[in-house]
Chain A
């Protein structure tokens, strides 16, 4: 069963606009969440993370929001740039575990 879900396989956004990528999870034990970005022929690279004690974390153009009651998190990219075009994976982990549960990914295309 897929404990982390990304229901949008793809998203297209105009350059300069906001990109919003969504992720849902089912396991209430998850308390740490990460976003990874993946280009073709490369491994995923870490982008930003958030602990369950927070509801927002910002890093430059990237902000992650966590809604624990809804078991939902989102990644906002503002402004979007063509170089942001990649597959974005949401991942989650629980205290005491050293493995990540990944979503199926969302392919973001930023149109110049």
Chain B
């Protein structure tokens, strides 16, 4: 079974621009979660989508948004980029049925904001 894939793997943007990251979950998984990893902060939860609906949201500003498509693929968008948005963005998928399944992570997208 193919794992979680994320594109692109690396991205360089400048302040004020916007960016869209993509995530394809494991086949059959309906839940996709997004996390931001920065040095010293660990992984911070951004939001979770299930069946095209945002089911959970972390404590991030409205510049961070996402969506999920009918095939469970998900995109994350960050508008008006700030230097502090430089981070590794990780996508994770799970069946999503609230059973205690572990989440399976993709390799991440490394975003650098100049």
Chain A interfacial positions (CB closer than 8 Å to B): 2, 4, 6, 32, 34, 36, 41-46, 49, 51, 89, 91, 93, 95-105
Contacts and interface: CB of A to CB of B under 8 A. Distances in A.
Contact of B33 (A2, A96, A98, A103): A98
Contacts of A4: 42
A34 to B, nearest CB: 6
Interface residues of B, number: 28
A99 B46 CA distance: 9
6 contacts: A34-B102, A91-B43, A99-B33, A100-B92, A102-B35, A102-B43
B45 A100 contact: yes
A44 B56 contact: no
B55 to A, nearest CB: 6
Interface stretch (B13-21, B65-73, B75-83, B105-113): B105-113
User: Taking each of A42, A102, A103, which has the highest tally of chain B beta carbons within 10 Å of its own beta carbon?
Assistant: A102
A98 B94 contact: yes
Contact of B105 (A44, A93, A103): A44
Contacts of B4: 43
A44 B6 CA distance: 14
Contacts of A96: 98
Contacts of B92: 43, 100
Contact of A51 (B43, B94, B100, B102): B100
Contact of B48 (A98, A101, A102): A98
A64 to B, nearest CB: 13
